[in-house]
Structure 1
Amino acid sequence: MSSTKTRAALRASARISGELLLVLVMTAVALWLLGRMWSVVWPLIVGLLLTTLTWPVTRFLRRHGWPPALAASTVTVLFLLAAVGVVALIAVPVASQSGELTDGVVEGIQKLREWAAGPPLNIGDDQISGAFDAGVARIQDSVGSMVTAVVTGLGTVVNGVVTTVLALFLMFFFLKDGPRFLPWLARQLPGRLATDVPTVAARGWETLSAFVRSQAIVGLLDAVLIGIGLWILDVPLVLPLAVLTFVSAFVPIVGALFAGLVAVLIALVSNGLTDALIVLAIIVVVQQLEGNVFQPMIQSRGLGLHAAVILLAVTLGGSLAGIVGSLLAVPVAALIAVVWNYLREQLGDPSQEPGTDEPHAAAAVPS
């Protein structure tokens, strides 16, 4: 290779490296700004996800002559009533059987104590009392940290309530004024952007809708399979536990662990250790099927992503941002794929007018 070609190759490599470095710096700045504005961005994201869940009903009402404000208000109220109904469906049976469950807990603790006192552990009452006293002393020494944890927990609860209220208000406005957003956005943008950005936004909206629908289907499969297992074992509170499993499916990792822990505890205090272990096995099998079969297959079909991409996205999102990262990993990956596919279409066929393949998209998107 001649020295001229070598210098040209080095200059090209340096230019590409500089451009990539600039992109990484701008990405880091964008992520930093996103973190600083997270108190506003997170309710916006939740509001959008709730809108994808409630928009089909709103669209049906609007197509049948309902005014936008009335349709949005009705759907918002119905959504709140449905949420309250889900809570009542879980809380009322639990409250009605709270006495039985309390007796079962006491009996279970006594059985556990008797089992610990026998072979092979041979733990006597004096040892249990000593361990209890040591635990009480440790708790007394940790009062300061416990108060701090309680205050932090209260702050988290308050932030959650504020986020929920803001998300509901945003959902109402998205349902009411969403279809006017893309035409307004097209009027604000110059030149080609007036077509490209609304088209990408329309496809992104369809992707978010597919994500929410697929998550609901996965949660329904979990609830049905685990509910059948609990019903066969004659575990009490089957319906509330199935509803709890369905709702918790929208919160990855922690939701499944929480619902599974509740089911195992109720089986333990009501049916004994053997049935509790069987329930645990059922939940583990169902969760493995969900994470490795149901969710990748359903979401890959609805979002246009390969199952391996979804698994890697959830893993990366969880390692970067915990629960929120796991929740948003799949839709973010799908939105990135939407942008990439659109760019590939435009670069692959420059003669095609942008957006002509989906002339009706702007009219179908609520936000």
Structure 2
Amino acid sequence: MAGSDSSGGQPSQVTLKTAFTVCFAVVLVATLVVLIIKAEVALILTGLAALLAVALNHLVALLMKRARLRRGPAIAVVLLVLLVAASALGLIVVPAAINQGQSLVNQVPELTEKIRASRVFQLLDQRFHVLQQLQRQSDNPTELASGALAVSAFHAVTGVFSVLGAFATILFLMVFMLAFGPELVKRLLAQTLPERRPRYEGVVSKVYSATGGYLSGLILICTINATLASTCLALLGMPFFLPLGIASGFSSLVPYAGPIVAGGFVTLLTLTTVGAWKALAVFTYFMMYGLLEGNVLAPLVFRRTVHVNPLLTLFAVVFFGELAGIIGAVLAVPLMATAQIIVRELLLIRREKLGDRVPVP
């Protein structure tokens, strides 16, 4: 009979409105995925600006509470102090780091030849044919050499403008988020149902506290890493200790994996410049510091501030690093913390609906 199913003769429960709703939801999700893929750079810049705004907003709130300033003057004071501190650090560290970095770049061909002549590289080349893999990257060296200078200059200019544009975008977004972000969040929460508003406010407060704690701890870890690495390399007589120490500090932005990669690179560079014994000392230092950061510093940050399990942290770094590169790995921990907070609240809501009032630990 028309309009009935084959099992019980009952009319179909799928109406035209239901089918249209499902199709619309599928199209909406597909459109959202395409927009996220197309706007990847904008999302990354917005995420970095949001992280910086959250970190600075803790200082703004503290200044408003202690000095009893209004929000506008408090933001101005925080930004001014940050500018003065960055300028002072730049005048002290940046010139020496640039000089040592230029010296390192000038010695790249010589260092490359030393690496190729080393016994370790020869063993790796015999096993994995490294030189053949590198030669395959340049099938036509004459064609590449003909326009190499123009292409390099073009890439250098566009790269500088891209970095400056990204920096300006992050700066303006951060300032506007500091100035208007809290009020916007309050207005959005005011539009929710009164009985659900406290729960939403609690979620926002937890995400805000977790992100701020993560950033403050991460800045401390990066500073400790850069200071100790620069000091160790300087004591060992490494000629490029300052840029390498700064790079080692920035490697802590990628939890767990970053210091390991930086330590391996610095050890290899030390081996080719100042000898095997000092390279062994550098390797020992990075092993000891890796244990310190992985077992003491990182747990203090990720477990006591964002309350994220180290295994989940590593999964998040691998996943978001694959999606968005280094920036994704940097944003992995706060994103995982936010997802964990939301999942906990959803599970708590489900338990309450089932009648179980025992709180989730």
Change (3 A) 1:344 1:149: farther
1:305 match: secondary structure: coil
2:184 equivalent in structure 1: 181
Matches within 5 A, 1:1-367: 29-63=31-65, 64-94=67-97, 105=107, 112=114, 139-143=141-145, 146=148, 151=154, 154-190=157-193, 192=195, 194-235=197-238, 238=241, 241-250=244-253, 256=259, 260=263, 263=266, 267=270, 271-283=274-286, 286-287=289-290, 290=293, 294-295=297-298, 298-349=301-352
Q: Identify if the C-alpha distance between structure 1 residues 23 and 320 changes in structure 2 by more than 3 Å, giving closer, same or farther.
A: farther
Shift, 1:197, TM fit: 3.6
* Shift in alpha-carbon separation, 1:340–1:317, aligned structure 2, 3 A: same
Aligned CA RMSD, in angstroms, stands at: 4.7
Q: Which has the higher contact order (CA 8 A, sep 6+)?
A: 1
Aligned length: 321
Q: Kindly indicate whether the alpha-carbon contact (under 8 Å) linking 2:100 and 2:243 is maintained by their aligned counterparts in 1.
A: no
8 Å contact from structure 1 (residues 223, 242) kept in 2: yes
Cα separation, 1, equivalents of 2:203 and 2:168: 29
Q: Structure 2 CA distance, aligned partners of 1:21 and 1:329?
A: 32
Distance of 2:38 and 2:98 partners within structure 1: 42
| Residues 259-302 of structure 1, C-alpha deviations (whole Å, 9 max, x = no match) | 65885587568744532453245335534664577435631332
**Structure 2 CA distance, aligned partners of 1:168 and 1:176?**
12
- Residues 293 and 156 from structure 1, CA distance in 2 versus in 1: closer, same or farther, beyond 3 angstroms? farther
Q: Secondary structure at the match of 2:305?
A: helix
Shift of 1:35: 2.5
Contact 2:303 2:309 in 1 (8 A): yes
Letter in 2 for 1:338: I
Shift of 1:62: 1.8
CA distance in structure 2 between the aligned counterparts of 1:33 and 1:110, rounded to whole angstroms:
43
Letter aligned with residue 59 of structure 1: A
The answer to whether the Cα contact below 8 Å between 2:248 and 2:259 also exists between their aligned partners in 1 is yes
Give the TM-score of the pair, scaled to structure 1. Answer: 0.67
Q: Distance in 2 between matches of 1:91 and 1:254?
A: 26
Q: Quote how far apart the aligned CAs of 1:337 are.
A: 0.7
Change (3 A) 1:105 1:321: closer
Question: Please, which runs of 5 or more residues in structure 2 have no aligned partner?
Answer: 1-6, 9-18, 124-137, 356-361
TM-score, length basis structure 2: 0.68
- CA deviation vs aligned residue, 1:149-194 (integer Å, no higher than 9, x gap): 6645644443332222122122222333343233222233455554
Letter in 2 for 1:58: V
Equivalent-residue separation in structure 2 for 1:221 and 1:178 (angstroms): 31
Higher mean displacement: 227-236 or 197-206: 227-236
Q: Deviations over 1:308-359 (max 9, x none)?
A: 111111122223332222122221111111111122223323599xxxxxxx
Percent identity for Structure 1 against Structure 2: 22
1:207 is displaced (CA, Å) by 1.9
Counterpart CA distance in 1 for 2:49 and 2:111 is 44
Query: Are the counterparts in 1 of residues 233 and 241 from structure 2 also a CA contact under 8 Å?
Result: yes
